[in-house]
Amino acid sequence: MEPISLLLTAIVSGAAAALEPTTKQAVKDAYEALKTLIKRKWGNIGLESVEGDPKSAARREVLKEDLEKAQAAPDEEMMRQAQVLVRAVKEHAPQAARAAGITLDELEAAGSISVRDLVAAGAAISVTKLKAGENISIEGLRSENPTAR
């Protein structure tokens, strides 16, 4: 996944999970660690609007634009923390990411892409504009919507 996309996915899913009163502390800690890192490195990137409504596509788009305008080039430390958060959400609060509308769209990797055990709630799974320099592996996708095919 392209670095800005990974970072955006982590922020949105972390913000959505943080709003849930039953979210495990591991998710909250990982989200706070990523926020602290973003503020330390880029200071002026505002996450508050996405935190207020992670489901809002418009707010996510503004955050993406802010990251791109700031020429925020996530480094290894930032990517590592984003991956920690994504894994924590996946393990402890996957429903929060689904509720926020996280989808697989416009994924690009210089190496390989691997997608496993993805469940779509309320809609069919859509994967578009997928590019990989090496291999693409997709397995275990399913929809919980009985009318989706």
Instruction: Clarify whether residues 89 and 112 are in a common domain.
Output: no
Number of residues written out for the chain: 149
Q: Return mean pLDDT, the chain.
A: 76
Angle at which helix 3-19 crosses helix 25-42, to 10 degrees, equals 130
Instruction: Clarify whether residues 36 and 18 are in a common domain.
Output: yes
Domain count for the chain: 2
pLDDT at res. 148: 45
Instruction: Give pLDDT tens digits for 63-72.
Output: 888 888 876 6
Instruction: Give pLDDT tens digits for 8-52.
Output: 888 998 998 888 888 889 999 999 999 999 989 888 788 888 998
Gyration radius of the chain over CA positions: 15
Instruction: Clarify whether residues 108 and 98 are in a common domain.
Output: no
Instruction: Clarify whether residues 125 and 86 are in a common domain.
Output: no
Domain span holding position 108? 103-149
In the structure encoding, which two tokens stand for residue 70, read together? 């700031």
Whether pTM exceeds 0.85: no
Instruction: Clarify whether residues 16 and 68 are in a common domain.
Output: yes
User: Among 78, 71, 65, which residue's Cα sits nearest to residue 38?
Assistant: 78
Instruction: Clarify whether residues 123 and 97 are in a common domain.
Output: no
Instruction: Clarify whether residues 15 and 39 are in a common domain.
Output: yes
